[in-house]
Homo-oligomer: A and B are copies of this chain.
Amino acid sequence: MTAHRTRSADRTDAIMRATIEVAQEIGYAKLSIEAVAARAGVGKHTIYRRWPSKGMLFHDSLLSTLEPAADLPETDDVKADLRQRLHATVDLMAGEPWGALFQALAGEIQHDPVVAASLNERFFGPLEARSVARIERAKATGQIAPDFDSSLAQAMLAGPVYYRFLITQEPVTYEFVDGLVEALFAGMGPRP
């Protein structure tokens, strides 16, 4: 029983690795279940038994490699902590091959609500929750104005980063996100 489960888990890993390899080589748009099956040395049915679509297969494969970023250390300096979180996002977006694959996944969720819901549940939701919790803690220590909506603050940090990544497609850099953190703290109203 244990041996059987291990073989099954090994096969799942092999399929997910094959998915990432093939996607890196030919791009997500051309990725096919057939090509993944051939690379992993399994039948197509084996893949379809576990994943209902190419989108979900790709999503699971990519997330299986992305999840470690969970526990960034925290300091007493909220700006430093927020910068560090955003730097991790920059590393993901600018890194090879993850940047291009992550962008393809962001494209896929515009067409597939099932993948969109799962990506938010497994990836964006937990990231947001941690940022919101850090912002709440900074309100308690007086580093952030207590009347500032924490969820909106999170969207005002993540939003411009994803706007660059997905819309203008300009490079997302540490300098950009550092400037963003400073700007959000300062606000654009006239100085008193």
Binding site for B on A (CB under 8 A): 27-29, 103-104, 106-111, 113, 116, 120, 124, 135, 142-145, 148-149, 152-153, 155-156, 158-164, 166-169, 179-180, 183-192
A188 CB to nearest chain B CB (Å)? 4
- Hey, which chain B residues are within 8 Å of A135, CB to CB? 188
Give the complex CA separation of A186 and B107 in angstroms. 33
| Chain A to chain B contacts (Cβ below 8 Å), 13 pairs | A27-B111, A29-B111, A109-B166, A120-B168, A124-B167, A145-B188, A156-B183, A158-B160, A162-B162, A166-B166, A184-B188, A185-B188, A187-B187
Other-chain contact of A192, B120, B149, B192 (Cβ < 8 Å): B192
Give the complex CA separation of A104 and B113 in angstroms. 12
